[in-house]
Amino acid sequence: MGRDGVRAERIHVDGIVQGVGFRPFVYRLAVRHGLEGWVRNSTAGVDIFAQGPPAAVEAFVRALQREAPPLAEVQAVRRWAVPPAEVQGGFRIVTSASAGGRTWVSPDAATCPDCLRELFDPADRRYRYPFINCTHCGPRFSIIRRLPYDRPHTTMARFPMCAACEVEYHDPADRRFHAQPNACPACGPHVRLEAPARLRRVVADVQPDDIARAAALLRRGAILAVKGLGGFHLACDATQAEAVARLRARKTRPHKPFAVMMRDLAMVRRYCEVNEQAAALLTSPQAPIVLLPRREGTDLAPNLAPGLDTLGVMLPYTPLHHLLLHDAGVPLVMTSGNRQDEPMARTHAEARAALRPLVEGFLWHDRPIHNRVDDSVWMATAVGAFPLRRSRGYAPRPVRLGLAAPEPVLALGSEMKNTFCLLVGEEAFLSQHIGEMQQAATWRFFVESVRRFEALFGARPAVLAHDLHPGFTLTATEALAEVPGAARARRVGVQHHHAHLAALLAEHRHPGPALGLTFDGTGFGPDGTVWGGEVLLAERAGYRRLASLRLFRLPGNEAAIRHPIRIAIGLLRETYGEALPDLPPLAVLDAVFLRTVQWQAARGLNAPLTSSCGRLFDAVAALLGLVTEVTYEGQAAMRLETAARAAPLPEGTPYPVVWEAVAEEGPFAPTLRLDWRPMLVHLVDDIRRGEAAEAIAGRFHAWLAAAAEEVAVRLSRETGVRTVGLSGGCFVNRVLLETLVPRLRARGLEVLLHRQVPPTDGGLALGQAWVAARKMLETSP
């Protein structure tokens, strides 16, 4: 055969290209373009040899990127010309053992439209089979034990494929070619309903299977534990207030909102307002929970999200969920199956121990979960969407940085909403949501996950990046003693709010310098105070603290976070002295309690000083009578934001903004402090005049936005830096973001907002890793 007019190329594709149907895609593409050659997995990506007419090769390479399958993420295509070769059999998929190099692990993906069609097609051999999947969808990270991603290395190893599944698995033209979790009713996992005999009798004649019977029990008001993809859910009918109340009582969770799963987008639209951005998120392969504005006058139970005008909603993301929601016909509460603040149950033994007292029954299945992974949560705003929890569907997909760490970095993350980050080269592998580190069980989950990440990505940390909080670092040191590499790693401490700002720079690949408004709950300050409302300038690997909130006391420390009226009393005392103004929320307090808190505030006894912006929100919510006891993080601020949305927001600020120039001493002393006292005086007057809490909540938001705008513009002028990043937990606030961001842009500033990691402490690890990498780059020759 003549080789004139034939071009031959070797092509290497980098990114998430294994376990996502990439080789069959390449095969079909090559056949379509009449090329001969081969494709195979390599240690880091996919290798291709292709030859044919130059125009066809060109079109083929272009399509590699443009038409890649839904779960693939092509990072780079490298190509070089090679001499043409004799190839037998047109184009072939060559299997090759991976040499165990670093490849990306695909996150879990929601059921694809093709599988969904088959799931509900009575003629299909997988009709109503709750584990249907293909190379475009299904479990990945949650079932993988080690690389390379092959069935024996997953929790599917115990299910040998039947002949029919084998044929699909080996047919390059099939959608299930090399789909590692491929299964069918004859060979794959199954579900089983476990419930007391009296309940089983009630639904005994419900057809056709245990999922239909579970749905029938839910319709009758039962609470069930449902084993899902990366853990267990607690499920009940979201339209039955009594069932929701029972779940709240059993879980000791009086107020925290419950997420709800709805059958399809049409159902979501009946209950919530869904804009284009939210619809895209809901229906994406990641299928996260999205916080949506709730419609009024629906049949949803009012106690799903007490006091809030939003609801966290997700669509079914496994075939099991699709069947359950289809059969139930109503929205279902689907909240994480755990004891308060502990990680989700993973094994059947854990689930039994933790969830037995909470439920009437279990919907089990026999595919083991290897990596537990909670549902992700997103928020959509007029200025863009961002994650509040980056977990299922995203982990362990890396965030690519604009710099490469000379050696691997392990960033330990935060004490609350923990995620950690393993930075290898340019790739920041963020863990799934780990959780609240005050719990011993969470520490075990953390250590186990760190070990697994090190093994999966073949990296041992040379550097540990961590928060400055001494308690956290101490416990981390003990826990990490068992983790390979961690004991000998060098330590880099990163200030909490600097890490927030750095996370923004990292995800935008921004080299800095940048100003950062980091409005947050609390974080350890190196000057001995508790930081939280900070304006920083990030430069190279370091930062300067330019402005902050005027300090105030937290009388009772931890108790003040639970009972924010304590913070309000501290603020009032600082503003009015001993004679506190007459206000309704103070009038109902016990006289001894009031005196004690005043005394704590005056003496500074068990009343640390803070510049926390989050605690200011708490105090205002308490003064307006919106909260008395806080039972979940962010509750007061969310109530205040909901109130602010109920009344028109004032133009400009109705309360005075006073940034005071200060001459404090020390390396971390700001030059400006936002004096909140003039605001408080106006706010107290409004309360005394009997103005509505909604109107006052709006004025407080308007004041904070005006204060933020003023300081950003002023400091930008003084420093010549035109980039302003917004991070920290207080920016999980649509009112604040949608007011502030357009104004900053109108002043000619470039605004950085989170897009890939949460603005809360869930994004902290990325910032810590980035700072550590910058430090290494600056000190290395």
Interface contacts to Zn ion, rule CB under 5 A: 112, 115, 134, 136-137, 162, 165, 184, 186-187, 520, 761
Cβ atoms of 37 and 96 within 8 Å: the answer is no
Cβ atoms of 190 and 168 within 8 Å: the answer is no
- Which is closer to Zn ion, CB of 165 or CB of 712? 165
- Which is closer to Zn ion, CB of 184 or CB of 345? 184
How many secondary structure helices (H) and strands (E) does the chain include?
A: 24, 30
Least Cβ distance, residue 475 to Zn ion (angstroms): 18
Cβ atoms of 449 and 433 within 8 Å: the answer is no
- Which is closer to Zn ion, CB of 135 or CB of 338? 135
Q: What are phi and psi of 463, to 5 degrees?
A: -135, 135
- Which is closer to Zn ion, CB of 164 or CB of 353? 164
Work out the angle between the directed axes of helices 565-576 and 591-603 (0-180°, nearest 10).
Answer: 60
- Which is closer to Zn ion, CB of 427 or CB of 534? 534
Least Cβ distance, residue 532 to Zn ion (angstroms): 8
- Which is closer to Zn ion, CB of 186 or CB of 646? 186
When computed from its CA atoms, the radius of gyration of the chain, rounded to whole angstroms, is 28
Least Cβ distance, residue 295 to Zn ion (angstroms): 32
- Which is closer to Zn ion, CB of 112 or CB of 216? 112
Q: Which of 428, 463, 513 is nearest to 776 (CA)?
A: 463
Least Cβ distance, residue 389 to Zn ion (angstroms): 14
Least Cβ distance, residue 495 to Zn ion (angstroms): 11
- Which is closer to Zn ion, CB of 112 or CB of 422? 112
Cβ atoms of 11 and 48 within 8 Å: the answer is yes
Q: b or e along 63-84 (b: 16 or more beta carbons within 10 Å of the residue's beta carbon)?
A: bbeeebbebbebbebeeeeeeb
- Which is closer to Zn ion, CB of 414 or CB of 575? 414
User: What contacts 450, CB < 8 A, 6 or more positions away?
Assistant: 410, 420, 422, 431, 480, 483, 486
Least Cβ distance, residue 761 to Zn ion (angstroms): 4
List beta partners, residue 93: 39
- Which is closer to Zn ion, CB of 55 or CB of 186? 186
Least Cβ distance, residue 70 to Zn ion (angstroms): 9
User: What contacts 41, CB < 8 A, 6 or more positions away?
Assistant: 18, 23, 47, 95, 96, 98, 103, 148
- Which is closer to Zn ion, CB of 134 or CB of 505? 134
- Which is closer to Zn ion, CB of 165 or CB of 304? 165
Q: Quick one: tokens of 694? A: 């909604």
Q: Assign 275 to helix, strand or coil.
A: coil
Measured CA distances, 381 to 277, 634, 645, 734, 737 (Å): 9, 18, 13, 6, 8
Q: What are phi and psi of 566, to 5 degrees?
A: -60, -40
| Dist CA 468 CA 492 (whole Å) | 9
Measured CA distances, 755 to 20, 76, 389, 746 (Å): 24, 22, 12, 21
Alpha helices, H only, 508-590: 558-562, 565-576, 584-587
Least Cβ distance, residue 686 to Zn ion (angstroms): 30
Least Cβ distance, residue 387 to Zn ion (angstroms): 15
Least Cβ distance, residue 188 to Zn ion (angstroms): 6
| Dist CA 54 CA 149 (whole Å) | 34
Least Cβ distance, residue 366 to Zn ion (angstroms): 15
- Which is closer to Zn ion, CB of 38 or CB of 472? 472
Beta strands in 17-151 (DSSP E): 36-42, 45-52, 73-81, 91-93
Handedness of CA 297, 303, 307, 311 (dihedral sign): negative
DSSP H or E segment with residue 623: helix 613-623
Work out the angle between the directed axes of helices 565-576 and 677-688 (0-180°, nearest 10).
Answer: 110
Least Cβ distance, residue 613 to Zn ion (angstroms): 10
- Which is closer to Zn ion, CB of 25 or CB of 655? 25
Work out the angle between the directed axes of helices 470-480 and 440-456 (0-180°, nearest 10).
Answer: 60
Least Cβ distance, residue 435 to Zn ion (angstroms): 15
Q: Quick one: tokens of 323? A: 């069947």
Residue 142: count of CB within 10 angstroms of its CB: 26
Least Cβ distance, residue 320 to Zn ion (angstroms): 14
